[in-house]
Amino acid sequence: MITWITDAIGRWTTPDPEEELMMVGHVMKADDGLVLVDPPVIPDLPRVLASVGAVRAIILTTHDHTRGSRYLSDLFSCPLYAPVHADRGRLQVGRVEKPVWYEDGTHLPGGLVARRIVVTVPDDRPYMDEMSLERSDVLFVGDLLAGTLGGTLAVCPEQFPGVRQVEEKGRAVAGALLASISSPPRLVLAGHGWPFSGNWQAELTKRISEET
């Protein structure tokens, strides 16, 4: 059920009931228990998590990833963290009503630090506004990036079917990430797709130069 990417970080997947893609949840072993990121619920997940350790916190990267967070937060009696700029209406659809709000620069459980990534397209229309969660060894993102089965890096919206202006939006996402996060290469884990291990900055820089 949980596939361990490293000794301390695992992932699980389940089909998205509204999209033709897979939802991915992640679990981190921290000093005082487990931290979940964007967790969907699948059968027997609570039992499996409890067998690994005590769930101490749940963190959402975006209002679009409420998934099973409210249910798991209630079940494990742990705080549920959500970005302070998240759309309240979308959170309420997922029954997330009283989360612990966090903002850019917030230090979160598991040693993670939040970085707000705001993406606009050339005419300044807002396109994406979500949090990345970084630590020295890992970078969590919601929809901004996704590893592929072939080991490459997809830049949003490449991983989503039927989206227009893929190249234009991809350049905007790549630019926003490069401008907001300055860090060494690390493991990249997203709310969809596969893990990506490598120099993601170089991949994004190359993408921008190829498309311009």
Q: pTM for this structure? A: 0.93
Q: Which of 101-115, 118-132, 197-211 has the lowest mean pLDDT?
A: 118-132
CA neighbor of 49 nearest in space, from 21, 22, 68: 68
- Residue 212 confidence (pLDDT) above 60: no
pLDDT digits 0-9 by tens, 156-189: 888 887 776 788 888 889 999 999 887 676 899 9
- Residue 110 confidence (pLDDT) above 80: yes
Average pLDDT over residues 107-117: 96
**190 phi-psi bin (left φ>0, alpha ψ -120 to 50, beta other):** beta
pLDDT digits 0-9 by tens, 121-164: 766 555 789 999 999 899 999 999 999 989 999 998 888 877 76
Average pLDDT over residues 59-68: 96
Share of the chain above pLDDT 90, in %: 70
Contact assessment for residue 153 and residue 145, using Cβ atoms and an 8 Å cutoff: yes
Cα dist from 194 to 2, 29, 146, 154, 189, whole Å: 14, 20, 6, 10, 7
- Token pair belonging to 113: 């630090």
Contact assessment for residue 91 and residue 81, using Cβ atoms and an 8 Å cutoff: no
Mean pLDDT, the chain, integer: 91
Average pLDDT over residues 77-98: 95
Three-state DSSP at 135 gives strand
Average pLDDT over residues 32-55: 96
- Supply the Cα-derived Rg of the chain in whole angstroms: 16
Q: Which is more confidently placed, 90 or 18?
A: 90
| Candidate CATH numbers 3.60.15.10, 3.40.50.1820, 1.10.3210.10, 3.40.50.300; the one for domain 3-211 | 3.60.15.10
Residue 28 has a pLDDT of 98
β-strand pairing of 3-4 with 112-120: unpaired
CA neighbor of 202 nearest in space, from 189, 183, 194, 212: 183
